[in-house]
Chains A and B, each alone.
Chain A
Amino acid sequence: AQSVSQHNHHVILSEAASLELGCNYSYGGTVNLFWYVQYPGQHLQLLLKYFSGDPLVKGIKGFEAEFIKSKFSFNLRKPSVQWSDTAEYFCAVSSNFGNEKLTFGTGTRLTIIP
């Protein structure tokens, strides 16, 4: 069975600080990896995704993530955060077959202090 761990439950940063949110997954096969963001009062939106190829993936709003297969990790990074990045961030995994379910982590709440 798939599982996803997000060890940072709540992260508080000042504007312009660098961000790294951890994500580790457990699955025996080839996976697709995702980061979703949920801004206050809004629906889940895809930040970035990894299917194959270059393990460094760039997403929207300056976010990037690196897939490290040997560590079963897909950490999210941003060099300089903004107040508008305040949101809940979810890492998710699916198997590498079409239309498979997403397994989500418990989420990391990110609070940016102006």
Chain B
Amino acid sequence: ETGVTQSPTHLIKTRGQQVTLRCSSQSGHNTVSWYQQALGQGPQFIFQYYREEENGRGNFPPRFSGLQFPNYSSELNVNALELDDSALYLCASSGGTGVISYNEQFFGPGTRLTVL
């Protein structure tokens, strides 16, 4: 069973640029959630995708957008980068065939984004 993978590991961008982060969900999972973890803080929910549709969104502006593909992998896009977007971006997958598993999220290693 392959776990959640994310790419790239690290990324440096300048203010105003756009960035795309990628996530491959764990085998058998149909839901992907994205979180932003600023330094010294807990992860904050950005949005969730379930079967290619957005299924809930946190308090993030529209310049944060996403996609989920038929194989349940996902992308997070951030436009017009700001300095405060510097953070660790975490992807988590969930879902499966059992009821209990629908509430447990498995996290990837994250992408460290630095905006200069």
Contact = CB atoms under 8 A, between A and B. Distances in A.
Interface of A: 4, 32, 34, 36, 42-46, 49, 51, 90, 92, 94, 96, 98-107
Given A4-B42, A98-B103, 15 more contacts: A36-B107, A42-B109, A43-B90, A43-B109, A43-B110, A46-B106, A51-B103, A92-B42, A99-B50, A99-B95, A101-B56, A102-B45, A102-B105, A103-B45, A104-B43
A107 B41 contact: yes
Interface of B: 31, 33, 35, 40-45, 48, 50, 55-56, 58, 90, 92, 94-95, 99-100, 102-110
A99 B44 contact: no
A102 B31 CA distance: 13
B31 A99 contact: yes
